Amino acid sequence: MSKKYLANRMKIKFILLIITIVALYVPLQAQSDSLIFDTKGTDFWLVFPPNFHNGKYSGSQMYYDDSLYIFITSDRPTTGVIEYMSLKGRTYSKNFSITDPTKIYTFSIFYPDFELLGYNDSGYNLDYQNNSEVITKLYFHILADNEITVYAHNQAVTTSDACLVFPTDILGKDYFIMSYNSDGKSDFGYLSTSSTPSQFVILATEDNTNVIIKPKQPTRFNGLKIQNIVLNTGDAYLVQADITETSLRTDLTGSEVHSDKPVAVFAGHQRSTVPNSPPASNPSRDYLLEQMPPIETWGQNALLIPYQQPSNATTLRNDIYRILAANNNTEIFINDVSVGKLNKDEFYEGQLTSPAHVRSNAPILVAQFKKTSDFTSSGGNNNYGDPFEMLIPPVEQFMTNYRVINTQAHEGIFSEAVYVEQFIIIVATDSSMASVLLDGNPIQLSFFKPIPTTKYFYANVRVSDGVHSISCNDKIGVYVYGYGPANSYGYVGGMSMKPYDYSPPQIVFADSCYSLRGTISDTLVSDSKINTIISAPESQVNVNVIIEQFNPYARQVKFSAKLNNFYEDGEFEIIATDSMGLSSTKKFEIPGFTLSVQNFRNGTKLPDHSKIYRIGKEFCYPVVIENYGKHNQNINDLILKNNTSNFRIVYNTPKTLNPGQIDTAFVCFNSPVDTNIIDTLSIVGDCGIRKIQSFNLTFRGDTNKPAVKAIVDPCNKTTNLVFTDSTIIDFGMASVDIIDTVNCLVTIEKFLPKYETVKIEVLDRYKDAIYHLSATDSAGFVTDVIDTIQGFTIAFPEINAGTNLFDYDSTMIGIINCKMLKVSNTGLLPITFDKNMYLTGNIIFSLPSIQLPFTINPGDIQLLNICFSPVHSAPEIQFDTLVLEFNCLAIKINILGLAEPFITDSKSKCNIPVVFTMDDLTSESYLGQSFPNPASDYSSFMFGLAENNYISLKIYDIYGAFRQTIFSGTLNRGNYKIQINTVELEQGVYFYTLTTENNNFTKTMVIRK
């Protein structure tokens, strides 16, 4: 910052002070609030740095596709004029009018005479200086009647970028350059004509503007020399990095520009690979362009947002970001983690792979760079996207309303649109996301993703070409970008440009027990004095804050704070703002006496240990002490109020507990006789004494028998008995004795005097087991335990134990044959079967459910009814298995049966012999075809009945005349085969019918003689 600039600032402050006095102390802040510093305006200056034009010397259509664009938007109708000058010194003007604010005014012009020409003439040669480091009259000057927003776009085939143009009223005098490494290439020992430099250009807005240029790395024609130049209105001065065989990556990032009058500074790169280290074989490249904000508009917080990657993006390498410092000892934090300190003009570079919060203790400038779309192209790259540079607005410069454009250009003989994927990034707080409107419509909250360590969220929103309005009830950030084949652009959607003075009020304080006192001062010569001091009620926790009364522009103000509750920490925040709007925010924490018994904290009733203990023994009670606050606490001593001989404290003091730390002290006590003892434990800290635990103890002798608990495994194989004598007044176990056992093994494990365990294992699980134990405690009290462990004590008197076979006689199809099985209980306890008794098949053999549950008393015999109901005849024996389960054991009885067909002889109504055979059951009625067919003397056929039914079987001749009744009568459900004598039927065709109560069936048969 120049001395002249500082002198001007002091002069302004002095004039404002005089105005304040004359205006009877009208607040200076009111004057500054009336000024709006943003990217809208009525006066703009613009110049285009060199691009790389692939078709400039090709003679092809590409030569005519490259153009310079100026896009203008407005919140309300307006008119204006664009005044511009060519490299040939000719001036032009173009009037414009915006009648519909939803539309864009687009100005485009063929580039050759209106874009600065650097030392690389689009790959033609590197031999001429052209406009590089030569004062050149070249500009676009945009004027409007009402406020407008202006965007610049340099469009060339596969190499383009855009930027937001700042109005003249927010231009500054002090700048640092944000650019990118030169893209130098070696060609067989010589510098390739495809080498393109890092670059920036200065454009003067007033005559006799003195400019100082301090390059960070050598420039093409002046090296590291500090350049002093004088520019007049509309003069442009292009500075390009020097590229040599030994320095292919020179970078002008961090170069300084200072002037005594406002200037516009545009920076970037003629055509860059991003990242360009390590070198790629044949990468695609793109133009970089951004207008630099003056240092006083930089902030200390920025939000890095990853771009939505193009739909066919390369997976090689990543987008990057840079953070540039304006002051020495600038510490950079990313997501609250320090990544180091930067000095003036130094930058930090990282890969942009996820959202992040960048903050610092001094002004910083942050930029994001889109990566190259193809690192191995052989000239036919159609991947969407390519490098562009985008400055990221400081959070301090966010606004509530934006009007932006997603630019579009056309190229080729068919004038095809260049940008096919358009996006807007919106950054908003968690509490304001719902109020964000894009073109009047809310954005789905699911689009927003969180930014670590902040309350901010971001959304990458796909949009169409053209003007877009974004608004919110809170300040938000907006970034705009778009992709085309090997092409892209990106720029910040707008921002506040309020200048900042980075000397806020100073806050100092001293604390004491449960309180503090402090002073806020703004006493430096350049300070504008204190305007406001607030401590927001929502920032105050358990404190009473007092700020002394003062008039605006005080040099010093005192404040104090005291805890409301001494047993809780307190905190509050002070925000002090000077008359230039600079503020200091300091959070204060006042430690309370935050030591107590764990989980008691600020309870109203003291924790009380009330319990009965046995006499004649010392017991120790753990007192868990917790530091529940946020500050270290000292335990200087632990004391008992009454300090009787019955108590002693086991704890070493002094001791310090860290926040959240717990520690345990033991309070030990005893009594030889029955009694009651009361006392209170307190902590002695740095700022006082606090009671933390009360004791109300009763001492008594043993009066209880031993207790017993049985744990039986589900299979009744093992029983574990636990004998205890362990209440607080018990004297403990003395012994456990085995009195008697039947069918079990008893094992005793001694854990005297607290308890004893007895393990009882059954020897034969098909018999009952009996045990008798006696437990004695140390006071002589006895507990006897006698119990029976039930075995699987059933038998089958009529079943051969070797075969376990239960057999049925032959049973005719359709008959239910039920048979009783004798079951006896040889044990001492009743045994019951329900779901633990079943047939594995349970289809032709069944257990009638009416007999369940099936209980057999000790020594008793019960009859179990099992039924056999065959459904078809077969020569094989039919079988099932009866399973009885108890105590995880199973007894199985094999059940067998034989099914017989039903056969009967009969005569028809006409006294014709008929033979019936039934050998199966069926679920549906039917009439089968006769056989043989034709027949002579005998004919047979099948029929089935789904249920018991009255039926008739009849024969009719071909003319429908009744000839005979084969059978009529009632038959049971089943499948039947019938044979009839056909001797008396003459040769011919006949019908035979089956008639049931619900159905009629008819078939045809032929008789041949």
Per DSSP, the three-state class of 844 is coil
Same domain (yes/no): 392, 466: yes
Same domain (yes/no): 95, 152: yes
At 149-183, the pLDDT tens digits run 999 999 888 888 889 999 999 999 999 999 999 99
| pLDDT band for position 85 (cuts 50, 70, 90) | very high
pLDDT mean over 557-573: 95
Same domain (yes/no): 784, 670: no
- Whether residue 436 is contained in a domain is answered as yes
Q: What percent of the chain is modeled with pLDDT above 90?
A: 60
CATH number of 663's domain: 2.60.40.10
Q: Give the contacts of 154 (CB within 8 A, at least 6 positions apart).
A: 48, 51, 68, 69, 111, 115, 160, 161, 162, 287, 289
* 197 within 8 A of 285, measured Cβ to Cβ: no
Same domain (yes/no): 258, 379: yes
- pLDDT at residue 733 in the model: 85
Of the ranges 28-42, 100-114, 206-220, 398-412, the best mean pLDDT one: 206-220
* 752 within 8 A of 759, measured Cβ to Cβ: no
Quote the CA–CA distance of 75 and 492 in Å, as a whole number: 18
- Residue-wise burial string across 907-922, b where 16 or more C-beta atoms lie within 10 A, e elsewhere: ebeeebebebbbbbbb
- pLDDT at residue 918 in the model: 63
- Whether residue 545 is contained in a domain is answered as no
Q: What is the mean pLDDT of the chain?
A: 88
Quote the CA–CA distance of 876 and 678 in Å, as a whole number: 89
Please give the residue range of the domain that contains residue 281. 41-296+307-492
Nearest by Cα to 940 from 972, 911, 915: 915
pLDDT greater than 90 at residue 280: no
pLDDT greater than 50 at residue 9: no
Last residue of a domain, one of 865, 900, 935: 900
Extract the runs of DSSP E, i.e. beta strands, from 127-254.
Answer: 135-137, 139-155, 161-165, 172-176, 186-187, 190-191, 198-204, 209-214, 227-231, 235-240
Same domain (yes/no): 461, 389: yes
At 593-609, the pLDDT tens digits run 999 998 888 777 899 99
pLDDT mean over 283-291: 89
- Whether residue 422 is contained in a domain is answered as yes
- Whether residue 508 is contained in a domain is answered as no
pLDDT mean over 339-348: 96
Same domain (yes/no): 159, 258: yes
Quote the CA–CA distance of 162 and 435 in Å, as a whole number: 29
- pLDDT at residue 122 in the model: 84
At 112-151, the pLDDT tens digits run 999 999 999 988 877 788 999 999 999 999 999 999 999 9
At 893-944, the pLDDT tens digits run 999 988 887 666 555 544 556 656 666 677 789 998 988 889 888 888 888 8
| DSSP track, 67-91 | EEEEEEEESS-EEEEEEEE-TTS-E
Same domain (yes/no): 683, 783: no
- Whether residue 457 is contained in a domain is answered as yes
- Whether residue 499 is contained in a domain is answered as no
* 992 within 8 A of 957, measured Cβ to Cβ: no
pTM value surpassing 0.85 = no
Last residue of a domain, one of 456, 474, 492: 492
- pLDDT at residue 919 in the model: 61
- pLDDT at residue 502 in the model: 61
pLDDT mean over 565-581: 89
pLDDT mean over 548-559: 91
Same domain (yes/no): 197, 256: yes
pLDDT greater than 50 at residue 499: yes
Instruction: Mark residue 780 as left, alpha or beta (left: phi above 0; alpha: psi -120 to 50; beta: remaining).
Output: left
Same domain (yes/no): 349, 390: yes
Quote the CA–CA distance of 239 and 217 in Å, as a whole number: 11
- pLDDT at residue 967 in the model: 87
Q: What percent of the chain is modeled with pLDDT above 70?
A: 91
At 668-711, the pLDDT tens digits run 999 888 899 999 999 999 999 999 999 999 988 888 889 999 99
The mean-pLDDT minimum among 311-315, 519-523, 708-712 falls in 311-315
Same domain (yes/no): 124, 251: yes
pLDDT greater than 50 at residue 14: no
At 411-441, the pLDDT tens digits run 767 778 888 999 999 999 999 999 999 999 9
pLDDT greater than 50 at residue 2: no
Give how many domains the chain has, as a whole number.
6
pLDDT greater than 70 at residue 81: yes
- pLDDT at residue 128 in the model: 87
Last residue of a domain, one of 850, 883, 900: 900
The mean-pLDDT minimum among 102-116, 344-358, 497-511, 956-970 falls in 497-511
- Whether residue 391 is contained in a domain is answered as yes
The two structure tokens encoding residue 378: 């052989």
CATH number of 935's domain: 2.60.40.1930
* 547 within 8 A of 535, measured Cβ to Cβ: yes
| pLDDT band for position 728 (cuts 50, 70, 90) | confident
Nearest by Cα to 219 from 183, 192, 243, 190: 243
At 39-60, the pLDDT tens digits run 999 999 999 999 998 877 776 6
* 888 within 8 A of 715, measured Cβ to Cβ: yes
User: With 0-12 CB in 10 A as exposed, 13-18 as middle and 19+ as buried, what is 414?
Assistant: exposed
Same domain (yes/no): 694, 726: no
Nearest by Cα to 842 from 879, 807, 873, 817: 879
CATH number of 732's domain: 2.60.40
Nearest by Cα to 832 from 772, 790, 770: 790
Nearest by Cα to 262 from 203, 318, 188: 203
Quote the CA–CA distance of 666 and 613 in Å, as a whole number: 16
Nearest by Cα to 922 from 975, 972, 970: 975
At 227-248, the pLDDT tens digits run 999 999 999 999 999 999 889 9
| pLDDT band for position 5 (cuts 50, 70, 90) | very low
Same domain (yes/no): 128, 260: yes
- Whether residue 518 is contained in a domain is answered as no
